[in-house]
Amino acid sequence: MLNGISSLISPELLKILMEMGHGDEIVIGDGNFPAASMSARLVRADGHAIPNLLDAILALMPLDDFVPSPVALMEVVPGDSTVPTIWDEYRAIVARRAGEDVGIEHVERFAFYDRAREAYAILATGESALYANVILKKGVIRS
């Protein structure tokens, strides 16, 4: 354990976040996301909710401010009546941690999967909300 680092951030996840460079992406997948089949760098966070993990990650990792949307959500499949209310939580967390003007894009399901396969790592969670998957693009620390 370390001061100032959430206990939700495992040693393995901290290592991944430190290894990532500017422009690298990490996927935070919900419990239904096919994480194990998509990534060579899979970190398990079973039992944890994505909003808590998102908040803990964004407390440490800057988002890329060179792109219009450093946050991506998997859009609802056409014809599915699901309304992902968890997205409102994500918007509030991103705004609090990275600023109100951070762009969030919606990506079609299979395009999201393609992008996930190219991500630096995938964090598999126990999140039960549908369409709760999120991609974060790492930025630079400006000090």
Which pLDDT belongs to residue 32?
Answer: 97
Amino acid at 35: A
pLDDT tens digits, one per residue of 69-84: 999 999 999 999 999 9
pLDDT tens digits, one per residue of 5-20: 999 999 999 999 999 9
- Give me the active site residues, please: 22
Report how far residue 15's alpha carbon sits from residue 35's, in angstroms, rounded to the nearest whole number: 19
pLDDT tens digits, one per residue of 107-126: 999 999 999 999 999 999 99
Report how far residue 69's alpha carbon sits from residue 96's, in angstroms, rounded to the nearest whole number: 16
Averaged pLDDT for residues 126-137 = 98
Place 1 in a pLDDT band, splitting at 50, 70 and 90.
confident
| Burial grade of 124 (CB within 10 A; 0-12, 13-18, 19 or more) | buried
* Angle 33-129-26 from CA coordinates, rounded to 5°: 45
Q: What is the signed CA dihedral for 78, 84, 90, 95, rounded to 10 degrees?
A: 80
Place 23 in a pLDDT band, splitting at 50, 70 and 90.
very high
Domains observed in the chain: 21-32+43-133 (3.40.1650.10)
Q: For residue 22, what are its two tokens?
A: 């500017």
Neighbours of 20 (CB within 10 A): 19
Report how far residue 52's alpha carbon sits from residue 4's, in angstroms, rounded to the nearest whole number: 15
